[in-house]
Amino acid sequence: MDFSSSSWRQQQINKSEWSSAADKTGLPPGTLIHIGEKHDTECRITVIQYDANNLNRYQIRTIAELKELQNPDLITWVNVDGLSDVDIVAEIGQELNIHPLVLEDILSTHQRPKLEEYENFLYLVIKGISLNLEKEFCLQYEQISILLLANCVVTFKEKPDDTFDPIVNHLQNQHGRLRQLGSDYLAYVIVDTIVDEYFVVEDNLDDIIDPLEDNLLLNSSKEMLQTVQHIRRGLISMKRNISPLRELLATIQRIDTPLLQEKTMRYYGDVYDHVLRVSDSLESYRERISAMHDIYLSSISNKMNETMKILTIFATIFIPLTFIAGVYGMNFEYMPELKWRWGYPVLWIVFIAISIGLIIFFKRKKWL
């Protein structure tokens, strides 16, 4: 691993609150500004160095400490949690001779998953997706940038979390494949761990969609429609962040670079299959949600039709009664029925007979 300094000099920009790529309009390419959600955590750098017989872990504060740890005989994994300190990213770029445009993409957390090949390193961008269990189907996204160099992997995450804890646990196994193979295999394990989290999100999706689907016809409500729409937007967002990963992994298997060993390629092919499974499942969920949306609209329409039917039946019953009442409500002098002694009770009998007759007629027509 070469930690030699490069000749280019990093521009210093006032580190204000930047949340959108549009805020960088007019700035020169390669300007390092953190674009994205601001997390109230300090930048933390973890270094793990290992081979088949040794495993060392360090917490460092400066890149100068990293230079002291360089050892070409060990695989080095540098993990940076938090992007609030732009200077640290700039210094890492200087020590590893990373192109300024790559550093700019690392700090701009609105990137789509992609792979870029450079002379001495590969740059990968992947979206980590997790589910906030405290809220109903609340997806959390995190951009994870990976730099693959000879005998070295550098990862940049937006905030500290437990995403890479399984990898650290695997490293404890001295006889595991991770301890026996090179940095390209470590990069594969990182990508695979991120993709595995997608399956966790899918399992929780089943727990949310299945009862929602069962209750849709029985208890359609405005709140249920809002839940369906919320899940629908979440699935679209997941699809947008996962679909480019297929192209990324397909490209990895085609490129010719000494940074990737041939025996490691098959593992990237396995991750590619996992991404295909996730994409197919997302498409299935989207179809189910679309069907649920259509069922909801049909259910509301049926309820409205039932209401209109009842109102129409009542209106139909009262139309002849209103007609009769209107006729005898006219103030003509020569209306003999007005003088009949039994006219009023006979009129009520006629009203009741007409109503009962219409109800029997509607039931025979199966309108009731």
CATH code for position 197: 3.30.460.20
Over 90: is that where the pLDDT of 195 sits?
yes
- The boundaries of the domain holding residue 337 are 307-364
Give me the pLDDT at residue 223, please.
Answer: 77
Surface-to-core class of residue 5, CB atoms within 10 Å of its CB (0-12 exposed, 13-18 middle, 19+ buried): exposed
Residue 275 has pLDDT above 90, yes or no: yes
- Decide if pLDDT at 47 tops 80: yes
Residues 280 and 350 in one domain: no
Residue 86 belongs to a domain? yes
Answer whether residue 18 shows pLDDT above 60.
no
pLDDT of 191 > 90? The answer is: yes
255 in any annotated domain: yes
Task: Read off the CATH number of the domain in which 327 is found.
Answer: 1.20.58.340
Total number of domains constituting the chain? 2
Measured CA to CA, the distance from residue 47 to residue 95 in angstroms comes to 15
Residue range 57-68, pLDDT digits in tens = 999 888 888 888
- Domain-terminating residue out of 241, 263, 298: 298
Express each pLDDT in 223-254 by its tens digit: 777 888 888 888 888 898 998 999 999 999 88
- Domain identity same for 319 and 246: no
